A and B are shown apart, each in its own frame.
Chain A
């Protein structure tokens, strides 16, 4: 775990995979209609998943964030799972009942204050003995702004400049303590906010929280290449994942970092069974529960901006045109901005060409990486071995489709297969998330990076 003085210029696959679990708090990924689907909010569900993940030597337990309830045609969306705890509060509680698994909190840079967020993340890092991570997201819709003091909207162009200044300030705050307990005062005056703070917390066992990034635009990728330790990507298919890896390696080198310095863990869903046939049947069943007839129609309604209740979910896509110019942002920032009419035409053509009904079309669209991780335990393990060999990814962030038992099969059956193939850890490498992900420990800059004076502000403890 030494810090490389000469960053590697060539990417070398580690031949290993890590797993993380993404406890889905919202949307249609979780099949809440299944008989054994449990509570999405009770702490027991979180404890059960986190402890199962730890039994399976998962590197990370992951929570998303959404700071405004999703809406549908002007009202809260009724059909899918909604309502989840604040990520850091839930993770602080989980820190007390777990010992090795990393605790990743998705937190956005637009509706937080850097000094406050850095302090809270340090708290989580210290309470967990160096297992905290921050998944940096940049929620930018006016929609979410309505719940916050700053209100409104942060321009697309400003989003990552804001995020970058935020993250750099947070890093300076985490760098502020040295071993002897002397503290540097951290100041930043920028376009979006200003900070003047003498940090309150020392470094953790892993120095500072590990940084994840989720966001896919070129700006988002460059931001990750400069700042992040791990990318939570949306590219699980092997070819796509390899392209994404090449792209990230190029961007990372351009940013002056080593080719192996940024890990990649795509979002993924596993549907496993003892035999391939069973797994396929299970997949059909899971899909039918994820996207039922009402969800299929509602999904299109969001892009059409109008009610489509009269349409048959098992029939073709609606022939009427969208009522809106631009598609709505109600599903979060990833979805808005497309021209509705154009999108509708494109989808109708695609569905027609492939002979897909509304349900089939929506189901396909909402489950990326669809068949890749469906299969028998051995089949899927073999496929994963290919990812490890090529270094397409460093691991997967799995969204269980059932809460709270959705990791059981993965931990009980898939993990042993992966271990047999020598591509998965047989014990935790260490006690910190940084160690378990094989990340280098940051080196504390000798002076504050902005050159602000430090001596006069030094406080001793």
Chain B
């Protein structure tokens, strides 16, 4: 696979991603924020958050779409009932507001129509000038299933639903070759029909004809980020994922998990970028991280599958410096967005940048470019060329 570009880490520079969900990743974040949360989710708050992430120098923001609250849970299940705006539309709103920040919404593959997902994500790429990505989710929730009147999906089927949806998305993104819009006044043709292709996807549960209703996204193919372990080897070998999100139970175990994931990928002919997942609680304004976390935990328990860092900015910087030599990037999940982001942008990112551990940030860079990926030709263009 010598033709593949080197992953960012091989060049010694990594990416920092920020999860931008609501008030923060801790379930009590909204109650701990210094400013009272507005009754309804507000555009101003979202605008402020993405601008803060961009000016802090993050490469990308992710937008969670945490599914429906489980109505069988007790009424006090506060975080599940918190107002949730659609992630993809939050990312779209952020498009014209930002210039360098890549925008990566989480989109479910099980209960959402693949055709809608593909065209919405392609549209996101247009409104963000090529800065869009897709964080693949596969909901196992009974509430999400009931909302659309379907049976919940588990185990291997989740993996297949995700792989199918990604495949549909990729085929639809390629279904218009780059130069399909020709606007040829002489012949009256707006399109070169030979450059449009049916996706003709036939899956276990559905089929999708195509072509897309929107021309090829600016990036050609949006980068697809997938939690490690969701897709099977076959899907990975087929190139379904451009990046894998790697989790470990503790910060200490992250390095080993990254190495194991890399080893597991060896021999399949693909090298998706590896992005480490980390929850973060920092010392802030005279309060220790431990004290802050205790206070938050007294309001609600924080159950997270991710490694959790609790400590000072300097300690976090050291941890990230280590992880960034192994992984291609780290996605940070601040406990309380406004509080932890302030410390990250004041103390952590500048130091990492000074040590030249971060890939450069520049305006109008595509997410593919950030990930060190070239812009692919449409698979159908390649096929046409081969036929000739």
Interface residues of A (CB under 8 A from B): 32-33, 41-43, 46-47, 66-69, 75-86, 88-90, 92-93, 95-97, 111-113, 115-116, 119-120, 123-124, 126-129, 146-149, 151, 181, 183, 185, 189, 193-198, 200-204, 292-295, 457-461
Find the residue from A83, A146, A193, A196 having the highest chain B CB count within 10 A. A83
16 A-B pairs with CB atoms under 8 Å apart are A33-B188, A41-B126, A43-B127, A69-B211, A85-B123, A86-B122, A90-B123, A115-B148, A120-B86, A126-B40, A126-B41, A151-B206, A198-B71, A200-B68, A459-B81, A460-B75
State A399–B81 Cα separation when bound (angstroms).
41
Q: Which residues of A contact B82 (CB under 8 A)?
A: 461
Determine whether the beta carbon of A43 is less than 8 Å from that of B96. yes
Q: How far is the CA of A146 from the CA of B200 in the complex (A)?
A: 10
Q: Is the CB of A183 within 8 A of B85?
A: no
Tell whether, in the assembled complex, residue B147 and residue A294 are in contact, meaning their CB atoms are under 8 Å apart.
no
Task: Say which residue of B68, B188, B211 sits within 8 Å of A76 (CB atoms).
Answer: B211
Cβ contacts under 8 Å, B212 to chain A: 69
The smallest beta-carbon distance between B91 and chain A, in angstroms, is 8
Name the A residues within 8 Å of B205 (CB-CB): 149
**Is B39 positioned at the interface, with any CB of A under 8 Å from its CB?**
yes
Q: How many whole Å from B216's CB to the nearest CB in chain A?
A: 9
Closest B residue, CB atoms, query A197: B147
Instruction: Please tell me which one of the listed residues A86, A127, A459 contacts residue B123 in the complex, with CB atoms under 8 A apart.
Output: A86
B positions within 8 Å CB-CB of A? 39-43, 46-47, 68-69, 71, 75-78, 80-86, 88-90, 92-97, 111-116, 119-120, 122-124, 126-129, 143, 146-149, 176, 181, 183, 185, 187-193, 196, 205-215
Closest-by-CB residue of B relative to A65 is: B213
A204 touches B40 (CB 8 A): yes
Inter-chain contact B123/A116, CB cutoff 8 Å: no
Q: How far is the CA of A146 from the CA of B211 in the complex (A)?
A: 11
Task: Say whether chain A's binding surface is mostly helix, strand, loop, or mixed.
Answer: loop
In whole angstroms, what is the CA distance A146 to B208 when docked? 6
Please state if B83 and A200 are interface contacts (CB–CB under 8 Å): yes
Contact check, A148 vs B43: say whether CB atoms are below 8 A apart: no
A86 touches B119 (CB 8 A): yes
A120 to B92, CA, bound (A): 12
Complex Cα–Cα for A146 and B120 (A):
18
Counting chain A CB atoms within 10 Å of each CB, which of B43, B85, B116, B124 scores highest?
Answer: B116
Cβ–Cβ contact B123 & A89, under 8 A: yes
**Interface-centre pick from A89, A96, A124, A294 (highest chain B CB count, 10 A):** A89
17 extra interface residue pairs, beta carbon distance < 8 Å, beyond A83-B181, A89-B88: A41-B214, A42-B126, A69-B196, A83-B176, A84-B214, A85-B214, A86-B119, A93-B128, A96-B94, A115-B148, A127-B85, A147-B210, A148-B208, A196-B146, A198-B143, A294-B187, A461-B82
Question: Bound complex: CA of A215 vs CA of B240, how far in Å?
Answer: 41
Question: Is the Cβ of A89 less than 8 Å from the Cβ of B191?
Answer: no
User: Which residues on B sit within 8 Å (CB–CB) of A67?
Assistant: 115, 213
Which residues of B sit under 8 angstroms from A46, Cβ to Cβ? 127
B149 and A79: CB pair below 8 A?
no
Distance of A67 Cα from B208 Cα, bound (Å): 12
- How many angstroms between the C-alpha atoms of A359 and B48 in the bound complex? 54
**Are A194 and B149 CB-contacts (below 8 A) given A78-B192, A92-B93?**
yes
In the complex, the answer to whether A96 meets B95 with C-beta atoms within 8 Å is: yes
Is A83 in contact with B213, judged by CB distance below 8 angstroms? yes
Query: What's the minimum C-beta distance from A37 to chain B, rounded to whole angstroms?
Result: 8
Q: Is the CB of B123 within 8 A of A293?
A: no
Separation of A80 and B126 alpha carbons in the complex (Å): 21
A149 B120 Cβ-Cβ under 8 A: no
* A75 to B, closest residue via Cβ: B193
In the bound assembly, the distance between CA atoms of A197 and B148 in angstroms comes to 8
Given contacts A43-B95, A461-B83, contact A127 B89 (CB under 8 A): yes
Q: Does A202 contact B40, Cβ atoms closer than 8 Å?
A: yes
CA distance A196 to B41 in the complex (A): 23
Query: With contacts A115-B148, A127-B93, A151-B206 known, is A86 near B129, CB below 8 A?
Result: no
Whether A80 and B40, one on each chain, are in contact in the complex, defined by CB atoms closer than 8 angstroms, is no
CB distance from A433 to the nearest CB of B (A): 15
**How far apart sit A60 and B134, CA to CA, in the bound complex (Å)?**
30
Residues of B close to A95: CB separation below 8 A: 43, 93
B191 proximity list for chain A (CB < 8 A) = 76-78, 82-83
Contact in complex: B113, A111 (CB < 8 Å): yes
Q: Which residues of B contact A123 (CB under 8 A)?
A: 85-86, 89-90
Residue with the highest number of chain B CB atoms closer than 10 Å, among A90, A189, A459:
A459
Nearest neighbor of B80 in chain A, beta-carbon distance? A459
Q: Which residues in A have their C-beta under 8 angstroms from that of B68?
A: 197-198, 200
Q: Which of A81, A115, A129, A203 has the most CB of B within 10 A?
A: A115
Contacts of A78 in B (CB 8 A): 189-193
Given A43-B95, A85-B123, A93-B93, A151-B47 contact (CB < 8 Å)? no
A46 to B96, CA, bound (A): 11
Residues of chain A lying within 8 A (CB to CB) of residue B181: 83
When distances are taken between beta carbons in the complex, the residues of chain A under 8 Å from B97 are 96
Contact B89 A92 (CB under 8 A): yes
Bound CA span A144–B124, Å: 22
Q: A127, B147: Cβ atoms under 8 Å?
A: no
Residues of the B chain whose Cβ atoms lie less than 8 Å from the Cβ of A88: 89, 120
Option from B90, B92, B122, B148 in Cβ contact (under 8 Å) with A193: B148
With A69-B196, A76-B191, A78-B189 as contacts: A200 and B69 at CB distance below 8 Å: yes
Cβ–Cβ contact B127 & A129, under 8 A: no
Of all chain A residues, which has the CB nearest B92? Answer: A92
Given contacts A85-B127, A89-B120, A93-B92, contact A119 B86 (CB under 8 A): yes
- Complexed CA–CA distance, A306 and B161 (Å): 41
Q: Report the separation of the CA atoms of residues A201 and B66 in the bound assembly, to the nearest whole angstrom.
A: 13
- A127 vs chain B, min Cβ distance (A): 5
Contact assessment for B147 and A113 in the assembled complex, using a CB-CB cutoff below 8 Å: yes
Residues of chain A within 8 A of B185, CB atoms compared: 33
Q: Whole-angstrom distance from the CB of B248 to the nearest CB of chain A?
A: 31
**Complex-state Cα separation, A137 to B81, whole angstroms:** 31
A103 to chain B, nearest CB (A): 11
CB < 8 Å neighbour of B147 from A41, A85, A195: A195
In the docked arrangement, what's the CA distance between A86 and B93, Å?
A: 14
| Nearest-neighbor residue (CB-CB) of B185 within chain A | A33
How far in angstroms is the closest Cβ of chain A from B145? 9
Within the complex, the shortest CB–CB distance from A125 to chain B, in Å, comes to: 10
B190 partner residues in chain A, CB cutoff 8 A: 32, 78-82
**From B42, B46, B75, B187, residue with most partner A Cβ within 10 Å:** B75
A63 to chain B, nearest CB (A): 10
Closest 8 CB pairs of A and B: A194-B149, A294-B188, A93-B127, A85-B123, A89-B123, A92-B89, A92-B92, A146-B209
C-alpha gap A196/B122 in the complex (Å): 30
Residues of A within 8 A of B43 (CB): 95-96, 126-129
B187 touches A43 (CB 8 A): no
A residues less than 8 Å from B207 (CB atoms): 146, 151
**A90→B210 CA distance, assembly (Å):** 21
Closest chain B residue to A292, Cβ basis:
B188
Q: Is the CB of B39 within 8 A of A68?
A: no
In angstroms, Cα B71 to Cα A147, docked, is 32
A293 to B185 CA separation, bound complex (whole angstroms) = 12
Complexed CA–CA distance, A68 and B198 (Å) = 11
Docked complex Cα distance between A196 and B150 (Å): 10
Closest-CB distance, B388 to chain A (whole angstroms): 20
CA distance A97 to B83 in the complex (A): 23
Docked Cα-Cα span, A118 to B243, in Å, equals 32
- Contact of B126 with A43 in the complex, beta carbons under 8 Å: yes
